[in-house]
Chains A and B, each alone.
Chain A
Amino acid sequence: MKNDESKNTRRRFLKLGIGAGAASLAGFAGAKMGASENNTEEKSGIKETIKVLTPDGKLVEVEKTSILPAKDVFIDRIKAQEGIAGRKFVMVIDLAKCKNARKCIDACQEGHKLPTDHEWMKLYLLKDSDATAPYWFPKPCYHCDNPLCVSVCPVGATYKRSDGIVLVDTERCIGCKFCMTGCPYSARVFHWKKPDVVVDENTPYSPETNIPPKEGTVGKCVFCPDKLRNNELPRCATACPMGVIYFGDMLEDSVTNGTETVRFSELLRDRGGYRYKEELGTEPSVYYLPPTQRQFPWERGYESLPDSIKSRYENIDVIKETFPKDNNPA
């Protein structure tokens, strides 16, 4: 049975062989880009349909939005100022599981079309004091409830929404960088030159994705509101292979890392959750779980890195002690 099928497939392929170049290129481009975002039902005007098998054996086509919730609605600059109704988003990062795999960073860079020198998620190796142990520390924007960055913006280019998310409107941003000095967590980054990314310049701009990026404006982690509106987790949470990043709505007391769902209050209570630099009074929306009972040593997060990334950590004292450079090769 299987042989027949593979032969049929081959034959069909060969028949299609000549002249299929253009179609395949289009498909390839579509796959590579993951299809340009925002280009669904609402935009193209073509309704997506799905097949439904009815009891009388007929196959009917039904509009997708009548059965499944609408996806990828375009949110313009005005709508972006309203948060997703009735939600207050929080993130919990489990430092006990993070091993610097950096998939969160890769997914974020890819998903938001970020140039190489412009990273929204950062990973630090922190060591609080001489005797305490080092740990890997992922740091997105904390979307503080008392955001200093928003207070100091002179033109209102950055704002906090009802769902807790702080966004930057790069159509309003004048690039004064006051918000970058205002943020104590170094969460914001800047486009110092024309962003060298492949993005269709005609894509309508939405502050929820910050695509297309603009030179001379500020960018930062946005908690992926475009994904949240589809009831999907932010890209970093989905991409993490260790399930380090939990995300959820604080008001329904539930956070998930894609595999495991727990009650937010119980997670913080059982694992001793805290916020970084609570004393600064910024009231972050990101909580951390202390690095206790680790299943693997922290050194593994450094050893397996490619050299270009290893060099970022080379000047840290604990790295210099643990991995001394061999100055006299045998």
Chain B
Amino acid sequence: MEKSANDLLKEFAPQLENPTKKWWLIFGIMVILFIFGIYGLIYQIRYGHIVTGMRDHVVWGVYIVNFIFFMGLSYAGAIISGALHLMKTDWRKPIMRMGELITVISLLIGPCFIIFCVGRFDRLHYLIIYPRIQSPITWDVIAIMTDIVGCLLFLYLSFIEDFAKLRDYKELNVPNWKKKMYTFLALNYKGTPEQEKRLKQSKNVMAAMVIAIAIIVYSVLAWIFGVTLQPGWHSTIFGPYFVIAAVYSGTGLLIILMWFYRKFFHLEEYITKKHFVNIGILLFILGAFYGYFTFSDYLTKWYGSVRMDKLLIDMLFKNYFWEFVVANYIGVIVPMVILGFKRFRTINAITIGAFITLISLWFNRFLIVVPTLETPFLPIQDNRMAWIKYAPTWVEISLFTAGVSVFVILMMLAAKFIPIVSISEMTEKQDKENIII
């Protein structure tokens, strides 16, 4: 059933208007978690990094794991909405904005973990004023800055038409400052053919750019590990492996968000089972690739007789057995089973599968960063437990939950600012000739 823009506006307007009690409750909980994280950060600044679990061998712990994890989530929007935009698929429309929002918000949260991990965050600006371009971290700094600007541009481009519609919708019951904001941000967009053409061209350009940049940025992040000599990190597969795992995790998060927004904003009409299944198939394919890359990486490490690889694999199977199983077996097999069989493809089941994906990918990141550092070339001969085995402390966990809570807060605020289902996309005239999928 084709709905007009006005119908959609009428339906979605309440989302932007006054928040419900439920909204405030969830918001409140998230704010409390955030404040707890701030307390942890102040504690860490006061007493030094000794309050974390990191020591001289495992110098990168949960902070870096979270950094990689959140950066990975951002490729959901980048690659999915970018690719789907270029392929002009029809079913992408209700979920595009969610994807793009995930991208930008994760990109803003991820690098914050660097601030927590670095010993002297008061000198972070040295990365800009004294850069050494031979260092993979400098490549990462440049890449992330480029990525943030690019994704913000891409997101903003998708907002403009909706801002224009909201500006023109007389019955919108929102405070004046919000109305003024819509007017300003709509950039005088009136829907003239010339403006439409400019916007369309810009979107096409940015969609292509965003895909390219996402791949480059995440590969650079992978190469921070790949260029070192550490056993477990010095792997040629890391570039593509990280990119695939990132998109896999982002897709999982997208499904979860689809489920939540569908529930809270009653969007059953727009986000149907078909959407879940289609994104689910994407999840299936990505999961297969992820499993393949993981298997390939570990098989070659295990089969060859290099001692350091053997020590690493032994450590993984002895000390990290359950994490390994969750990350590399359950995280691959369960979503694939759910999506592989028609019988299991219900909305709830697919969402559970996506949730398992997310958890297992966090552990995958953890298993990449930490066990390698616990098996250096020269064996750790020490009597202090904290120096031998890494265990995250409450400070690191508090900042992790703070990161998650900030993500939720920003998603909630975004949904209050602009309809989560893009009205302009939904009512866009269908270009039937150029559909690819």
Contact = CB atoms under 8 A, between A and B. Distances in A.
Interface of A: 117, 124-126, 139, 148, 151-156, 172-178, 180-182, 184-186, 188-194, 214-218, 277, 280, 308, 311-316
A253 B55 CA distance: 39
A172 B121 CA distance: 12
Contacts of B7: none
B120 A217 contact: yes
5 contacts: A153-B132, A173-B119, A181-B233, A191-B119, A216-B118
Contacts of A185: 377-378
A139 B376 CA distance: 14
Contact of A151 (B124, B134, B377, B382): B134
B229 A184 contact: yes
A125 B379 CA distance: 9
Nearest to A149: B228
B138 interface: yes
A186 B376 CA distance: 7
A315 B60 CA distance: 24
B130 interface: yes
Q: Is the interface of A mostly helix, strand, loop or mixed?
A: loop
Given A139-B378, A155-B132, A156-B130, A192 B118 contact: no
A173 B228 CA distance: 19
A175 B377 contact: no
B381 interface: yes
B435 interface: no
Contact of B48 (A153, A188, A216): A216
A155 B119 CA distance: 14
B352 interface: no
B48 A194 contact: yes
B48 A192 contact: yes
Given A124-B378, A312-B382, A152 B227 contact: yes
B113 to A, nearest CB: 12
B341 interface: no
Contacts of B121: 174
B381 A124 contact: yes
A212 to B, nearest CB: 15
Q: Which of A155, A182, A277, A314 has the most B CB atoms < 10 Å from its CB?
A: A155
Given A151-B135, A177-B59, A124 B228 contact: no
Interface in B355-403: 373, 376-384
Contacts of A177: 59-60, 117, 119
Given A148-B228, A151-B135, A184-B377, A174 B124 contact: yes
Contacts of A192: 48-50, 54-55
B26 interface: no
B119 A216 contact: yes
A173 B122 CA distance: 11
Given A175-B120, A184-B230, A193-B47, A154 B127 contact: yes
A218 B229 CA distance: 19
A216 B44 CA distance: 11
B56 interface: yes
A194 B224 CA distance: 28
Contact of A154 (B49, B137, B230): B137
A216 B141 contact: no
B28 interface: no
A156 B59 contact: no
B111 interface: no
Nearest to A159: B132
A124 to B, nearest CB: 6
Contacts of A277: 377
B137 A176 contact: yes
Contacts of A154: 127, 131-132, 135, 137-138, 141
Contacts of B48: 192-194, 215-216
Q: Is the interface of B mostly helix, strand, loop or mixed?
A: loop
A217 B123 CA distance: 11
A307 B384 CA distance: 13
Q: Which of A173, A176, A190 has the most B CB atoms < 10 Å from its CB?
A: A176
Contacts of B224: 178
Given A173-B120, A184-B230, A184-B377, A193 B50 contact: yes
A118 B96 CA distance: 51
B136 interface: yes
A178 B56 contact: no
B85 interface: no
A178 B50 contact: no
Q: Which of A154, A178, A217 has the most B CB atoms < 10 Å from its CB?
A: A154
Nearest to B48: A193
B310 interface: no
Nearest to A192: B50
Nearest to B234: A184
A172 B377 contact: no
A182 B230 CA distance: 7
Contact of A312 (B130, B132, B381): B381
The 7 A-B residue pairs whose C-beta atoms are closest, nearest first, are A175-B119, A216-B119, A193-B48, A154-B137, A311-B383, A177-B59, A193-B50
A215 B119 contact: yes
Contact of B119 (A190, A280, A316): A190
Contacts of B230: 181, 184
A152 B376 CA distance: 18
Nearest to B138: A154
A137 to B, nearest CB: 8
Contacts of A193: 47-50
Q: Which of A139, A148, A181, A186 has the most B CB atoms < 10 Å from its CB?
A: A181
B137 A178 contact: yes
A132 to B, nearest CB: 14
Contacts of B124: 174
A307 to B, nearest CB: 10
A96 B130 CA distance: 45
Nearest to A217: B119
B310 to A, nearest CB: 13
Nearest to B130: A155
A185 B120 CA distance: 24
A200 B141 CA distance: 37
A181 B377 CA distance: 11
Contacts of B55: 192
Interface string B311-339: 00000000000000000000000000000
A186 B377 contact: yes
Given A186-B377, A186-B378, A192-B50, A314 B383 contact: yes
Interface string B34-65: 00000000000001111000111101100000
